[in-house]
Amino acid sequence: MPEDVKALSADLARDPQSLVFLRLGEALRQKRQFEAATRIALHGLERHPHLADGHDLYARILADRHDYEHAFDEWDMALRIAPQHIGALKGLAFLYFKIGDLAQAEAHLEAAYRAAPEDPTIAQAFAVIRGEALPPAFPDEGVEAATEEDGVVEESFAEESVTALPETLVFAGLEGAQEGLLLLDAAGLVLGGALKTSDGVDVTETVAAYLAGVSQEASRTAKLLELGEWRGVSAEGQSGHVHVVQPTPGSMLLVMRDRSVPLGRLGMLAQRAAQAARRWLEQQR
């Protein structure tokens, strides 16, 4: 049951350094007051930046808001601080499940099980991942930490069960999969993803055609300058940024976002999308 928000708020007001922000943020999250929950979580993280539970709380809120990329970062951070953190392990398992990486999802659940074998929600999550149980059987926390009573995850799982993950969707589950991520072969032919302008116009094929050859020229330039292998090209435009990487020698991946996403962060997104692309390309062989 959600705790008394007023009482918890009063406690936090009395002692802003207190860890009560964890309970207050969670209570607000359960009430779906995401703005307030976010403020509390960030307030807490400002004061306790190395508190794994704080990052776990913020990740849950982000996941509830479907901001899976940032949720991933926060759970990842929680694990760096506390490698056995159950909430983070289950949260990351959930995100991997969402993008169809069942091996990673299972690996994270196994790590969670080793850390907390008595936790019944882990077995339930295993069952869902293995297709032995329906998504609503997911626990109230952990893998489904992302959500709780709000049913957001249940809806998500209902939409994309393990078996229903479309093979053609390279970037299934990643933000921007259908308007900001594009995978090409060496000849500039589209393998997956799509690009749309801010007006919703599909520019996939045109951009793909212009990008053909970028990889070759980047390689030639790097070779000429004796700089080794090229790792990526990032470019800043008037209305947005792009980042191009090479997931495998014969492919090229482009990530496009508006200017609110800084170039550095775009590079991180590109690396994550490249991982998904590599897995997908391997599955196609």
Partner 1 sequence: VSAVPFGHALDVVTRVRGVRGAMLVASEDGLVVAEQLMEGIKGSAVAALAASLSGRLRRAMVAAGLGPSQFWHLQCEGGALLVVPGKEGLLVVAVTEPDVNVGLVRLELLRAAEVVG
State yes or no: residue 197 binds partner 1 (CB under 8 A).
Answer: yes
State yes or no: residue 255 binds partner 1 (CB under 8 A).
Answer: no
**Pick 163 or 238: Cβ nearer partner 1:** 238
**Pick 48 or 265: Cβ nearer partner 1:** 265
State yes or no: residue 220 binds partner 1 (CB under 8 A).
Answer: yes
Q: Which of 263, 265, 275, 278 touches partner 1 (CB under 8 A)?
A: 263
State yes or no: residue 202 binds partner 1 (CB under 8 A).
Answer: no
Q: Which of 221, 250, 283, 284 touches partner 1 (CB under 8 A)?
A: 221
**Pick 118 or 199: Cβ nearer partner 1:** 199
User: What CA–CA distance (Å, rounded) separates 188 from 180?
Assistant: 16
Which among 34, 31, 30, 27 is positioned nearest to 9, based on CA atoms?
27
Q: What amino acid occupies position 212?
A: A
DSSP reduced 3-state for 119: coil
Q: What amino acid occupies position 213?
A: G
* Shortest distance in whole angstroms from residue 182 CB to partner 1: 9
Which among 159, 85, 97, 83 is positioned nearest to 127, based on CA atoms?
97
Q: Which of 161, 235, 283, 284 touches partner 1 (CB under 8 A)?
A: 235
**Pick 36 or 263: Cβ nearer partner 1:** 263
**Pick 132 or 217: Cβ nearer partner 1:** 217
DSSP reduced 3-state for 21: helix
Q: Which of 159, 201, 249, 282 touches partner 1 (CB under 8 A)?
A: 201
**Pick 124 or 215: Cβ nearer partner 1:** 215
State yes or no: residue 222 binds partner 1 (CB under 8 A).
Answer: yes
Contact at 8 Å (CB) between 63 and 138?
A: no
Report phi then psi at 31, rounded to 5. Answer: -85, 5
Q: Which of 236, 250, 283, 284 touches partner 1 (CB under 8 A)?
A: 236
Which among 6, 10, 30 is positioned nearest to 18, based on CA atoms?
10
State yes or no: residue 234 binds partner 1 (CB under 8 A).
Answer: yes
Report phi then psi at 226, rounded to 5. Answer: 55, 50
Part in contact with partner 1 (CB under 8 A); list of ranges 2-10, 21-29, 75-83, 232-240: 232-240
User: What CA–CA distance (Å, rounded) separates 69 from 256?
Assistant: 14
State yes or no: residue 218 binds partner 1 (CB under 8 A).
Answer: yes
Q: What amino acid occupies position 40?
A: I
* Shortest distance in whole angstroms from residue 200 CB to partner 1: 10
* Shortest distance in whole angstroms from residue 222 CB to partner 1: 4
Name the CA radius of gyration of the chain, rounded.
21
CA distances from 256 to 233, 269, 276 (A): 12, 10, 16
DSSP H or E segment with residue 252: strand 251-258
State yes or no: residue 211 binds partner 1 (CB under 8 A).
Answer: yes
Which among 279, 203, 277, 198 is positioned nearest to 245, based on CA atoms?
277
Contact at 8 Å (CB) between 92 and 64?
A: no
Q: Which residues of the chain form contacts with partner 1 (CB under 8 A)? A: 195, 197-199, 201, 203, 206-207, 210-211, 213-214, 217-218, 220-222, 224-242, 254, 256, 263
